[in-house]
Structure 1
């Protein structure tokens, strides 16, 4: 709707006072009576002796009196001060000092007032010519402007009131230029009003400026580095690096955003996220990927002594980003020298890294650093091994996005919870953006308005599968590291982008209850609390119940490279059917091959689910669920899966038939059962010879013909078998902890060592075995482990405590005894799993729980 002319006139003095002042002035000048109409001509009067100041004051008074006393006619017009483009309406009146006198600024058209027309203030210059939007109609009312776009309803004077000036019509013109209204604004109209289209946003701007002030950073970004920056600006427009070049640059980023730079970082990140959510173009996504590498690259000089300078360095780069100097930031980023190889670090390097990680709260990573033997070198041979673990596969069947159900809406609170759930020190993906960077941008006191809202918008954009398709291979890709296996080969570890992991965490939490109802009681690896302990207790109870059986066998299933080879077409079909709210996001991530980066080498991932994906376990288990239900409905006594680890038990004939069924059904979804790694366990009094007629030879015999049928076995890290096997298994685990305890003893900082001893290397190291294994058989090994922990404590502190002193200081030092806690840990796990075990195994009874082990656990140690 066009704005009305509005605006009242301001009177400087009262009507009576004005006339009295005018009368006295005219009488002094002998001008005679004031004419009663505009056509009247005042008598000639000699004014040559009057100075410029007196004539200006007289003219002001005469014009004011004329405006007050005489009705305006066709020869002049007093322009409303609120409609003059060159004068701000706020300057129409202002208070001078503390005086209540209002000084009024009046704007009159030149040569339109009768007094001025007679030459009272004749000057050498004629003054400015009236503008087009201030032309006066015959009635004395200013002519109004109408839209110049042909066909626009606001172009018809009979249908709209119009606008009073080009300033007031500007928003309507911008609506046409921006596409909100149809029609093209004629270039002649813009040129006649000294306007042009902004080179950045496309809206109208004065020809004198060419670019809006708020668009200058984007214009500077498009034209290269600003004047005065290091290096000359290149000719042409800088388009920025491609996705492949950007992610392959391997720019190291800071672990934390310096406190001095967090506000500027939050502002820059908020704008980048808002641009992605608003435009969703490849350019906007590339800018988001570019941001952390340009702004959060490490300063030339690091360390505690230069912390203040590092904060100023990062803050300056964030400000330059906001000003649009993207090319300069990209070309000037600091690239620390990388080690040429990935050889095992020295002991001093391990200790230094572990100390730094502990001070950042990454206790688990600190212990891993102390035991690190290095990663596989980034060579062509290693890259080829990784490619073999990521085989090529045909693209999954295309599905229209419109045919897929919409995702659930994710609110800001869910995004904030998922962001806080990231472990401390979470590694970044190829772009360098870390979860800690997002946390620093949303920290209390530095949070930028709308940051969490913009982040939530981007997460919802991804969850709906509506993000730019060209971004999917890179955002759904990952950085690869190769960890050498003890027996040869490499294990690929994928580190995905933080935005992909954040979206996956939010969606996984939204379907948690549905997943538990869907997978239970076949699959215990997804959405089932204490699923490992439930599986171990149920299997141990089954073996105890069949202790006297002569025709029972248990087989542990092992799929070869399962997560990297499962069919993506099967994954997309299963998730669309059973978890429709995840369908769009999963299709967006997996419908085309993703790019994995291993140093300077690239690996294409065309099959399987990414192990760094929070939804990866759910997607894998979703495909296996139909197979698990078929096994459970068959003649087997027990069939349970924990992700890709399966257990089937029953008669040899039933188990053999189930194995053949598993091989057939697994091949349909891209999986292959590795019989050499599957393990057969003769339950009770069953002999190995009775199994040869039903089970494959690869399971029963090794490559050299030796028998492989076991009586005792390890299941999901817990020992299942007789007391001797359990004791030996626990002793081996205790001995495996000795290298870590020795490494902690060598730390120079005792506070760091004590923290690691409490959190990771001591009691916590054996909690899983304590909860899943009866305590009687492992007490001796646990007591030896307690002695090792006390020895490590003595090496750190120089204190040699007696047994009584140890008992007194356990609470204060938080060095708990594994031997004393084992009975309580086992009973707590067993009691919390009994009902779940009854659902898992129809033959399970509470009375079948091994009574001797439970009774021994109830006999608490003295004291």
Structure 2
């Protein structure tokens, strides 16, 4: 990259902003390779360490601003930006490396994002719904299903789901740095420090180097991205044109289309989808539904319930491995935070409860069996009362476990209502507005499930 030409001074953080970012880290936030945690800084700034808090936070702020101004020697970048790798097995037996950077890197990045937050949101929110967008993933699924509900009989439409091969590890960094300099110059020096040179990724005592790392001109009905996963809906020719643009211009940015995970779907078909020249022969052509961001886009009850049941079976199989820890306390923590209802929250929020009732009940049986084995090792004296008590918060003497069946009654309605403003903004040019049949059905079911439920908070003159 050529030397940066900055026409805007670097962002400068005050100590209140820095302190707020330190406090925003969740409890037990994992540390990087240096072992420093956010809690260490909080302990030094509060309680017994508060006598030195003012001087310490001012010193930390000076260091943060030194990085933002690009005045830290670049020779240190490979260490500041370093991270240990945890390799996880993907469903296709590939490796997904998870990296957790130093607290300093994460803190300065938080501060820089606060500095350009409004500009970043304005720039990204028209098409990208992950970075800084609350409920972005859920909103994308709700939108896709609303479009499908409105136009499911229109055989001329097609939905394209796009996936790039290892996008964040292969994308051309020079393109990223160029865009940041052009659009967010006040943080470009910090971004250049992060990505302008190779960083160390540690695996045990060894390390590897991390060195690599379309606007809408087709008048699309829907064009939305969640990181590198894209969703496009329009008539056949325009969607095919979008795919050709991606295939033509993607390689120039080192973005290679993963054709095996790129699919087209629409429940009705007027025959043109089968034309040999319109889409690549090896692209997936789905007839019942498509899996998007872990949720279902479909009008087929069997497809939705089958996807939910598959997730439940995987979650129950995972619970079955807990006894191997031989540590009930650790088992309970993992069950509450990772393996229990947390595995299903996204699906419960984006699927109608009436379609996933069987899966929710099956999950509850598996969860009850797991906690029963944990508490009494499969013995007697664990009945319905004990199961109900286990759902209470820990501060009330329970185990803080949620019933999937009970959560499913309100999760979909709450998610739809919470993300409605975002959905309306995305669909502003589509002509789709108001409550669809899925939402009305879910509201009716919620009223019947919870006697005396007041739905006025979820509706207002025809819109949630």
> Which range, TM-score by smaller chain?
0.7 to 0.9
Secondary structure at the counterpart of residue 92 of structure 2 = coil
Is 1:715–2:275 an aligned residue pair?
Answer: no
Is 1:861–2:449 an aligned residue pair?
Answer: yes
Match of 1:828?
A: 414
1:234-249 maps to which residues of 2 (within 5 A)?
none
Which residue of 248, 257, 262 maps to 1:678? 262
Task: Determine the C-alpha separation between the residues in 2 that align with 1:757 and 1:479.
Answer: 25
Match of 1:779?
A: 357
RMSD (Å), alpha carbons: 2.6
Match of 1:502?
A: 107
1:546 touches 1:684 (CA, 8 Å); kept in 2? no
Is 1:417–2:1 an aligned residue pair?
Answer: no
Match of 2:454?
A: none
Task: Determine the C-alpha separation between the residues in 2 that align with 1:600 and 1:845.
Answer: 56
CA-CA distance at 1:710 after TM superposition: 4.0
Is 1:818–2:404 an aligned residue pair?
Answer: yes
Gaps in structure 2 of 5+ consecutive residues: 452-464
Question: Which has the higher Rg, Structure 1 or Structure 2?
Answer: 1
The 4+ residue runs of structure 1 with deviation greater than 6 A are none
Secondary structure at the counterpart of residue 496 of structure 1 = coil
Question: Residues 691 and 584 (structure 1 numbering): CA distance in 2 closer, same or farther, change over 3 Å?
Answer: same
Match of 1:522?
A: 127
Match of 2:85?
A: 480
Task: Determine the C-alpha separation between the residues in 2 that align with 1:596 and 1:789.
Answer: 37
Match of 2:455?
A: none
Task: Determine the C-alpha separation between the residues in 1 that align with 2:437 and 2:422.
Answer: 13
Is 1:731–2:309 an aligned residue pair?
Answer: yes
1:270-419 maps to which residues of 2 (within 5 A)?
396-400=1-5, 403-419=6-22
Secondary structure at the counterpart of residue 860 of structure 1 = helix
Task: Determine the C-alpha separation between the residues in 2 that align with 1:774 and 1:534.
Answer: 14
Secondary structure at the counterpart of residue 132 of structure 2 = coil
Secondary structure at the counterpart of residue 466 of structure 1 = coil
Is 1:435–2:38 an aligned residue pair?
Answer: yes
Task: Determine the C-alpha separation between the residues in 1 that align with 2:84 and 2:301.
Answer: 44
Is 1:837–2:423 an aligned residue pair?
Answer: yes
Deviates more, 1:406-415 or 1:442-451: 442-451
**Residue deviations 1:100-156, cap 9 Å, x none?**
xxxxxxxxxxxxxxxxxxxxxxxxxxxxxxxxxxxxxxxxxxxxxxxxxxxxxxxxx
Deviates more, 1:751-760 or 1:470-479: 751-760
Secondary structure at the counterpart of residue 540 of structure 1 = helix
**Residue deviations 1:473-495, cap 9 Å, x none?**
32233333433334333222233
Secondary structure at the counterpart of residue 462 of structure 1 = helix
Task: Determine the C-alpha separation between the residues in 1 that align with 2:340 and 2:74.
Answer: 48
1:430 touches 1:478 (CA, 8 Å); kept in 2? yes
Match of 2:209?
A: 604
Task: Give the TM-score of the pair, scaled to structure 1.
Answer: 0.48
**Residue deviations 1:383-437, cap 9 Å, x none?**
xxxxxxxxxxxxx23325xx35222221222222222333444444344444344
Match of 2:460?
A: none
Task: Determine the C-alpha separation between the residues in 2 that align with 1:794 and 1:687.
Answer: 54
Which residue of 114, 117, 136 maps to 1:512? 117
Match of 2:226?
A: 642
Task: Determine the C-alpha separation between the residues in 2 that align with 1:739 and 1:552.
Answer: 39
Secondary structure at the counterpart of residue 421 of structure 2 = helix
Task: Determine the C-alpha separation between the residues in 2 that align with 1:569 and 1:660.
Answer: 23
CA-CA distance at 1:591 after TM superposition: 2.4
Task: Determine the C-alpha separation between the residues in 1 that align with 2:331 and 2:110.
Answer: 33
Question: Residues 695 and 406 (structure 1 numbering): CA distance in 2 closer, same or farther, change over 3 Å?
Answer: same
**Residue deviations 1:782-830, cap 9 Å, x none?**
0121122222222233364444664466435233322122121111111
Secondary structure at the counterpart of residue 96 of structure 2 = strand
1:649-798 maps to which residues of 2 (within 5 A)?
649-687=233-271, 689-700=273-284, 708-721=285-298, 722-744=300-322, 750=328, 752-798=330-376
Task: Determine the C-alpha separation between the residues in 2 that align with 1:579 and 1:692.
Answer: 44
CA-CA distance at 1:766 after TM superposition: 1.6
Which residue of 502, 507, 532 maps to 2:137? 532
Task: Determine the C-alpha separation between the residues in 2 that align with 1:735 and 1:557.
Answer: 27
Gaps in structure 1 of 5+ consecutive residues: 1-395, 609-626, 701-707
Task: Determine the C-alpha separation between the residues in 2 that align with 1:420 and 1:724.
Answer: 46
CA-CA distance at 1:515 after TM superposition: 1.7
Task: Determine the C-alpha separation between the residues in 1 that align with 2:111 and 2:339.
Answer: 32
Is 1:563–2:187 an aligned residue pair?
Answer: no
Number of aligned residue pairs? 438
Match of 1:577?
A: 182
Question: Residues 764 and 600 (structure 1 numbering): CA distance in 2 closer, same or farther, change over 3 Å?
Answer: closer
**Residue deviations 1:510-547, cap 9 Å, x none?**
32222222212211111211001110000011112222
**Residue deviations 1:833-862, cap 9 Å, x none?**
233222212222214343663354334326
1:235-274 maps to which residues of 2 (within 5 A)?
none
CA-CA distance at 1:652 after TM superposition: 1.3
Secondary structure at the counterpart of residue 398 of structure 1 = coil
Secondary structure at the counterpart of residue 419 of structure 2 = helix
Match of 2:150?
A: 545
Question: Residues 751 and 427 (structure 1 numbering): CA distance in 2 closer, same or farther, change over 3 Å?
Answer: closer
Q: Which has the higher contact order (CA 8 A, sep 6+)?
A: 2
Question: Residues 772 and 840 (structure 1 numbering): CA distance in 2 closer, same or farther, change over 3 Å?
Answer: same
Secondary structure at the counterpart of residue 49 of structure 2 = coil
Secondary structure at the counterpart of residue 483 of structure 1 = strand
**Residue deviations 1:599-655, cap 9 Å, x none?**
4544333322xxxxxxxxxxxxxxxxxx2xx32x42322111111110111111111
Question: Residues 835 and 600 (structure 1 numbering): CA distance in 2 closer, same or farther, change over 3 Å?
Answer: closer
Question: Residues 458 and 543 (structure 1 numbering): CA distance in 2 closer, same or farther, change over 3 Å?
Answer: same
